[in-house]
Structure 1
Amino acid sequence: MSTAHIQLKLFAGLAPFAPENADRVPIEPGVSVEGLLRQLDVPCEKAHLIFIDGIKCSLASRLKGGERVGIFPPVAGG
């Protein structure tokens, strides 16, 4: 089986955790967003909003490959 890939974009305070290969992150098909973040040493508790292909999802959402994943930390405004 060949390796699947995703595009990963980490926003705001999560940006420093982005891997160098964020445009083509290899994944094991079926991995959860939480599992992926743990593999990349991204603090899951800081993943507040998760979008997969523009649709709001959760840490439990599964990836198959080819998705665009965007993750935002909690944002305070004023």
Structure 2
Amino acid sequence: MSIEVRLFATLRKGRGKKVFFDFECGINCNKIIKKMNIKKDDVAILLINGRDGEFDRELEDEDVVSIFPPVGGG
């Protein structure tokens, strides 16, 4: 199955804007962030197909996962 991962802000550094993976069935967002060497604490917003996502939700073919880091500023 094919999964598209979109990274934002600081998470793009050294990884790029979009990453495409081919996985066997049974993959979830926890496994993806681990494979990409992203700490769970560095993920503030997780979207699956543009909707609020859960780390342990099993993904389906052609899902799009968007990962945003915490945002700072003032």
Distance 2:61 2:14 in 1: 20
For the aligned residue pairs, the C-alpha RMSD in angstroms reads 2.0
Counterpart in the other structure of 2:2: 5
- Give the structure with the larger helix fraction: 1
Counterpart in the other structure of 1:73: 69
- Whether the 8 Å contact between 2:29 and 2:56 is mirrored in structure 1 is yes
Q: Compute the TM-score of the two structures, normalised by the length of structure 1.
A: 0.79
* Structure 1 spans left out of the alignment, 5+ residues: none
Distance 2:15 2:61 in 1: 18
Q: How many residues align?
A: 74
* Structure 2 spans left out of the alignment, 5+ residues: none
